Structure 1
Amino acid sequence: MLPSSKALELEFSEIDSNFLQFCASHGILSVEDFLVHDLNVLVAFAEQHGTSKKLKQGITRILSIIDNHHQPWLNGMKLLEDALQNKHVLSTGCEGVDHILQGGLREGQLTELVGPSSCGKTQICLQAASNVADKYMGAVIFLDTCNSFSPRRIACFLTKRMSSSSNEEKQRILERVMSNIFSYSVFDIFSLLDVLQQLESKLRSQEFTGDNQVQLLIIDSISSLITPILGGNGANGRSLMTSAGLLLKKLAHELNLSVLVTNHMVGGDGGALKPALGESWKSVPHVRILLSRDHGGNFCDASLLKHPSVASGQFVRFMIED
């Protein structure tokens, strides 16, 4: 847990009663509240005060504390116990992805699909949502950042799997699966952090989906939310990016969720493409899969860049469903 603002007041001179009163006047009552506020707006308000310099020093101090906040050390035995305890593998329904992951997405882990536009990232996300809601009868949260969520596409996946079923059976399964998938539109990092904190609260109190346990959280795409805040000196943006990554891993670990996010590619040295969000983000996901696809083709190539229990460098080619 992040330290309380009262504890910080005793430790840091920048965080005094004047700073705490300023924060409270903008609805910021805890360190966590900083994660869901537009810091550019907060700094603009601070500049209107006579003590603007010290207020901005306090904001910088809070961001530094958030940036340096990491999970506590765990010994090997605890890590092994956690890996063996209730960590199911969820098939994505995409044979190639399941093959390279030795079964599918693991609960408790953050998996990233990275690749250029139109390489199949969203397709795999929709297919995974369909398969988890159908095969495991679990609830799926789909955070849509670029209008990529397509209920028709999900219905298409289901229809193909139910080709031999009667029309009545198809309709029954379709209604059950679609009612287990919850889509939210999120268009900036502050909204994302707000939604994640609300989601954590609801899942802990079991107020969200009733009988069906949430098993999969999808964000397509997380890079479209983070890239806009990494401009300029990038200090505030990197802090927010780190906080989002830590919160996603916390949700995965403590609530036994599988988290699946997508990331796009940007131009690097010499014009070569590389994953967006830079080196700071690179260490966040437990699993990284690089996707590529020939223009206009139906075959997708997947390379495993990172995995805690599977050797990296593995490669598979598979067909993307039309």
Structure 2
Amino acid sequence: MAPLKSLEELCPFIDSNFLTFCASHGIFTVEDFLIRDLYVLAAFAEQQPASEKLKQGITQILSIIDATERQPWVNGLELLEDARENKNILSIGFEGVDVLLGGGLREGQLTEIVGPSSSGKTQVCLRAASNVAKNYKAEVFYMDTGNSFSPQRISGFVNWKPGTALDWSEQSMLQRVMTSISCHSVFNIFALFDVLHQLEFNLRSQTCKGDRRVQLLIIDSISSLITPILGGSSSQGHALMISAGTLLKKIAHEHNIAVLVTNHTVGGDRGTSKPALGESWKSVPHVRLQLSRDAGSNVCQASILKHSSMASGMTARFVIYE
């Protein structure tokens, strides 16, 4: 989480007095600021001797956050050229899913996989991580929110030979793939912001490891981090959710990274299920893919809910081997 003190050079009203005022209310970072009731904070500022400067500081921080999250205007030709020249398509490794998505995950975009428990969401994430690390010789950044990351499953995807010993070349391949996947355990929304800000800093300052770079960011699952902060009459959880989505899309666009997140389903009208996180989150992903799994089977079905170039409602079947 970015500390408020880091904004001092940008804002003349964010001085030691302002920082002391914020600290007295438990506000030390931008995320702390976002989840506060700003009307209450402004009321407290009114009671201080330097009330006008404090209120101007609050306004300036809001302006910085707004400017950071707002994307610049681009025309259609710029978008087309960007899609053609800068955005590779990364195969997930499940043929049916890749065909359905027009080749796989597109760099610069946020793809969401929606489905109930045991529908195959984590298996798709693990397969994508292993496939990108193996076949693209790329770095994969994997954020695990439910202790579901399985190095054994990755090993199986890379060398699917149960019960047999690996030769030297297979061992070398497996070692390269596993060292290319960086896994981070994240259990709340604030830890998510911490890791994303650190990743963003590293991406801006990193030196290339040969020809490798981070090409895939996975969060399994985003909904387990966001759901606990939603609900009630407060808008703080909603603000944090939109900020997280905006930051993910910003990282994807600026660094040509494919972002893959998973989301669970909740009950909808007439007994049907729908993606969790509500209507506001619905507009965040570029691509939404819904998974289901045949009862007692390894056969899964994927269907497009949203895609920029593929028709909604298209489906494909694929098999997850245990």
Match of 1:224 in 2: 224
Q: 1:97 deviation in Å?
A: 1.1
Q: 1:296 deviation in Å?
A: 1.6
Match of 1:114 in 2: 114
Deviates more, 1:160-169 or 1:145-154: 160-169
Match of 2:307 in 1: 307
CA distance in 2, matches of 1:188, 1:158: 31
AA partner of residue 156 (structure 1): G
Q: 1:275 deviation in Å?
A: 0.4
What is the RMSD of the two structures over their aligned residues, measured on CA atoms? Answer: 3.5
Q: 1:70 deviation in Å?
A: 2.5
Aligned residue pairs total 310
**SS of residue in 2 equivalent to 1:183:** strand
Match of 2:289 in 1: 289
Match of 1:262 in 2: 262
1:102/1:251 CA distance change after superposition, 3 Å: same
Q: 1:212 deviation in Å?
A: 2.1
Match of 1:91 in 2: 91
For residues 238-257 of structure 1, the aligned pairs below 5 Å read 238-257=238-257
Match of 1:182 in 2: 182
Deviations 1:234-291 (A, max 9, x none): 4111111111111111111110100000000112233321100000000000100011
AA partner of residue 221 (structure 1): S
Match of 2:21 in 1: 22
Deviations 1:208-257 (A, max 9, x none): 86752011000000000000111212411111111111111111111010
1:27/1:234 CA distance change after superposition, 3 Å: closer
1:245/1:203 CA distance change after superposition, 3 Å: same
The answer on 1:39 being equivalent to 2:35 is yes
For residues 53-202 of structure 1, the aligned pairs below 5 Å read 66=65, 69-160=69-160, 167-202=167-202
The answer for unaligned runs of 5 or more in structure 1 is none
Q: 1:144, 1:220 within 8 Å by CA — same for their partners in 2?
A: yes
**SS of residue in 1 equivalent to 2:159:** helix
Deviations 1:58-78 (A, max 9, x none): 879966974794212211111
AA partner of residue 154 (structure 1): I
**SS of residue in 2 equivalent to 1:179:** helix
CA distance in 1, matches of 2:108, 2:297: 34
Q: 2:34, 2:236 within 8 Å by CA — same for their partners in 1?
A: no
CA distance in 2, matches of 1:227, 1:61: 29
Q: 1:63, 1:239 within 8 Å by CA — same for their partners in 2?
A: no
1:57/1:119 CA distance change after superposition, 3 Å: farther
CA distance in 1, matches of 2:37, 2:280: 25
**SS of residue in 2 equivalent to 1:143:** strand
**SS of residue in 2 equivalent to 1:321:** coil
TM-score normalised per structure 1:
0.84
CA distance in 1, matches of 2:298, 2:60: 50
Deviates more, 1:301-310 or 1:153-162: 153-162
Q: 1:36, 1:193 within 8 Å by CA — same for their partners in 2?
A: no
TM-score normalised per structure 2:
0.84
CA distance in 2, matches of 1:182, 1:41: 36
1:132/1:17 CA distance change after superposition, 3 Å: same
Q: 1:295 deviation in Å?
A: 2.3
CA distance in 1, matches of 2:39, 2:188: 18
CA distance in 2, matches of 1:231, 1:147: 25
